[in-house]
Structure 1
Amino acid sequence: MLASACSKYKYETVSGDPLKTRIYTLPNGLKVYMSVMKEQPRIQTAIAVRVGGKNDPAETTGLAHYFEHLMFKGTEKFGTSDYAAEKPMLDEIERLFEVYRKTTDEAERAAIYHRIDSISYEASKIAIPNEYDKLMAAIGANGTNAFTSQDMTVYVEDIPSNQIDNWAKIQADRFLNPVIRGFHTELETIYEEKNMSLTQDGRKIWEAMDAALFPNHPYGTQTVLGTQESLKNPSITNVKNYHKTYYVPNNMAVCVSGDFDPDQMIATIDKYFGGMQPNPDLPKLEFKPEEPITAPVVKEVYGPEAARVML
């Protein structure tokens, strides 16, 4: 454990690391990884959350990936022209979706969805589409993106070195106070992504491999994109509970590499992220241990691409 002479923040290093990466842990549990590279006046950032497809509730698979998309919809401060007017409509949409997902009669479901669509249309008049992307573009960011795997969800930006404060301020608001808006229209995007995946041989092979290797673990029993049935019956309430449970500092890491002063960077991250409250009761993934594989397991999938083998 090393301490900078002019900083109150202590950090760890790894012996032999040529990049001399500093690893900080804030009092709330947030990990911060820093490596300084002065080649260009820019910084590659990544905010990683240790949660992914394996942590999806079985009743709403695909939730981690779906929430990744919703994280681009804004907060109470951006993404809307009048949050006070928007909030009652968003609350009603959430309530109706809980009724919708528990309703089996198709005519009733259609009527509820029509109501959801009508309220969503009114709410969309207040929402400001793509304002997060516009904010990032305004500070000169490149490569605005995110990805979800079975184990993690990661949000990336490449920012100019003189925009650290603006970047941290926007990101902290985004991770602390996301607002679930544009829910059902984004769901249609996700559903189309799922449909496209059904014709991707590579994805089908990976999913068959995981199902063979992990019959008891979520790696094999559910997929990152989720099932079509789950996507047809979403839950905003489950999404909010998921954010509250997993998007907490003791389950997150901020990673930065580029042209910056580490002491100033950690002070800025602490300024904006230090107030996040940890979750002392992070769920532990429970699953039945896998039996030893004692003989070859062969799975075949079919698709339009050339034949291939994965071992």
Structure 2
Amino acid sequence: MRKYYMPLMAMLFLAFSSCKKEKEEKSNIQTDANGFSYETFDDDPTGLRLYTLDNGLKVYLSQNNEEPKIQTLIAVRAGSTYDPADNTGLAHYLEHMVFKGTSKIGTQDWATEKVLLDSISDLYEKHKATTDPDKKKEIYRQIDLVSQEASKYSIANEYDKMVSSLGAEGTNAFTSNEQTVYVNKIPSNELDKWLMVESERFNELVLRLFHTELEAVYEEFNRGQDSDSRKQYYAVLEGLYPTHPYGTQSTIGKSEHLKNPSMQAIHNYYDQYYVPNNMAVILSGDLEFDSTIQKVNEAFGGYESKEVTHPTFPEEQPITAPIEKEVFGPTSESVYVAFRTDGVGSKDQKIVYLIDYILANSQAGLIDLDLNQKQKVQQASSYTNFDNDYGFHLLYGMPKAD
């Protein structure tokens, strides 16, 4: 099995956002021809420029002229770790909704649709506050009826159609513990149009088609419940982080929270974290530095910054003895062995990352040579994960019969 590689630019975002002291010690401040200041970094073979707009938005630009395309990422320092304890899964669900458009994208009649969406939001608040099962069913029936009416005014998938018409590839997004990242790969000559669409998309949240998208997210949750490996992974996290959100809540969220969502809570989360000084625009490809930063500034420079405070969590107690957990299911037996480490930017990260590649690199690691190639097991490997507060090193294997 091949090891997991994080996309290069997403990894850069993690590194630069989490290792501020190290970054400042190695960076050089310069100014381009149009007066925009930027940082470059010693020993960086990519020649990346890091700009910071007046509103705090980070802009990472890197040139690669191998093809006439630009890999784009818009990253928000907001993930499932910051979900309210009574609304887990919120960051991931918000990720889905950012694709649903705005008051200008995805609607046939915004004035009429907005009235219906406000009504749906109020009904969801009533639904969440109600404990009587029969009353909840009745409220949900009303939600269903109003949602059907609101859907008459929406244009399904208009955002996807718009970026597809630009020639975008790989349109997607992902939510992890501390970030949500939106991805496109566009032709370099469509940068202006892409910026126009994205600046509109991240300027306003409209929870359109909330009802049907919720069903899609819940089906994703159900698939996870049917996966022995997913349940095994969650058990590992619970053991490593018994009091931290890394282990107490998952990105997909808890069933009771998905069944009782709050549209108001999602808006509050968006208003708190989806602000320029908590975001980064990352562009790598066939671009010119000076003209590109001007265009990004025109598209996103008007966003208003606001103070952002991320929650902090009590320090986990040291693990002084093995913690064992068992997960039962229909698939064949396997074992996970995980070790908790310090997080991104730590000495642990460098050392454990190196150890991991000595153990397993898909070809000549110790696990590859001594277990997989000698066919002593069905499968075995290892991988690392590092977040801001903690990381882990996980080794896994599937034994042969007996």
Which TM-score bucket, shorter chain as reference?
Answer: over 0.9
Q: 1:97 to 1:5 in 2, by over 3 A?
A: closer
Deviation at 1:4, TM superposition (A): 4.0
Map of 1:280-295 to 2, 5 A cutoff? 280=307, 282-295=308-321
Give me the whole-angstrom Cα distance separating, in 2, the residues matched to 1:273 and 1:211: 39
Q: How does 1:162-311 map to 2 (within 5 A)?
A: 162-280=189-307, 282-311=308-337
Kept after mapping to 1: 8 A contact 2:32/2:290: no
Judging by fraction of residues, say which structure has more strand.
2
Residue equivalent to 2:183: 156
CA deviations over 1:149-192 (Å, ceiling 9, x no partner):
11111000000001111111111111111211111110010001
Q: Distance in 1 between matches of 2:204 and 2:130?
A: 30
Q: Secondary structure at the match of 1:275?
A: coil
Larger Rg: 2
Answer yes or no: is 1:19 the counterpart of 2:57. Answer: no
d(CA) in 2 for partners of 1:42 and 1:67? Answer: 28
Q: Which moved more, 1:197-206 or 1:270-279?
A: 197-206
Normalising by the residue count of structure 1, what TM-score does the alignment of the two structures yield? 0.97
Per-residue CA deviations over 1:176-222 (Å, capped at 9, x if unaligned) read 11211111110010001000001222322221111111111111111
Deviates most, 213-222 or 233-242: 213-222
2-structure distance, mates of 1:301, 1:9: 55
Name the structure 1 match of 2:146: 119
What do the CA deviations read for 1:264-286 (whole angstroms, capped 9, x no partner)?
Answer: 11111110111111121x23313
CA distance in structure 2 between the partners assigned to 1:39 and 1:305 by the alignment: 44
- Please say if residues 82 and 310 of structure 2, whose CA atoms lie closer than 8 Å, have aligned partners that are also in contact: no
> Is the partner of 1:119 in helix, strand or coil?
helix
Q: Secondary structure of 2:100's partner? A: coil
Query: 2:41 aligns to what SS in structure 1?
Result: coil
Aligned with residue 77 of structure 2, among 28, 50, 58:
50
Kindly indicate whether the alpha-carbon contact (under 8 Å) linking 2:57 and 2:276 is maintained by their aligned counterparts in 1.
Answer: yes
> How far off its partner does 1:85 sit?
1.0
1:80 aligned residue: 107
User: Per-residue deviation at 1:147?
Assistant: 0.6
Q: Deviations over 1:81-107 (max 9, x none)?
A: 110110000000000100011111111
TM-score normalised by length of structure 2: 0.76
Q: Deviation per CA, 1:3-37: give whole Å up to 9, x if none.
A: 34412111111101111110111111111111100
SS at match of 2:160: helix
How much does 1:139 deviate? 0.8
Letter matched to residue 58 of structure 1: A
1:64/1:148 contact within 8 Å kept: yes
- In 1, Cα distance between the equivalents of 2:232 and 2:192? 44
Q: Which residue in 2 is equivalent to 1:69?
A: 96
Q: Matches of 1:193 and 1:39 in 2, distance apart?
A: 37
Alignment RMSD (CA, Å):
1.1
Count of aligned residue pairs for this structure pair: 310
Task: State the secondary structure of the residue aligned to 2:182.
Answer: strand
Could you tell me how far 1:250 is from its partner in structure 2? 1.0
Output one character per residue of 1:24-60: Cα deviation in whole Å (capped at 9) or x when no partner: 1111111111110001100000001111111101111
Q: Counterpart of 1:122 in 2: which secondary structure?
A: helix
- The question of 1:146 aligning with 2:173 is answered yes
**Consecutive unaligned residues in structure 2, runs of 5 or more:** 1-27, 338-402
Partner amino acid, structure 2, of 1:47: I
Question: 1:96: which partner in 2?
Answer: 123
Counterpart amino acid of 1:111? E
Higher-RCO chain (CA-CA 8 Å, sequence separation at least 6) = 1
Partner of 1:155: helix, strand, or coil? strand
Report if aligned partners of 1:199, 1:304 keep a CA contact under 8 Å in 2.
no
Paired with 1:213 and 1:296, the residues of 2 have a C-alpha distance of: 10
Amino acid across the alignment from 1:169: M
Q: Cα gap change, 1:4/1:288 in structure 2, threshold over 3 Å: closer, same or farther?
A: closer
Q: Larger deviation: 270-279 or 237-246?
A: 270-279
Q: Distance in 1 between matches of 2:329 and 2:294?
A: 52
Give me the identity figure in percent. 50
Structure 1 match to 2:163: 136
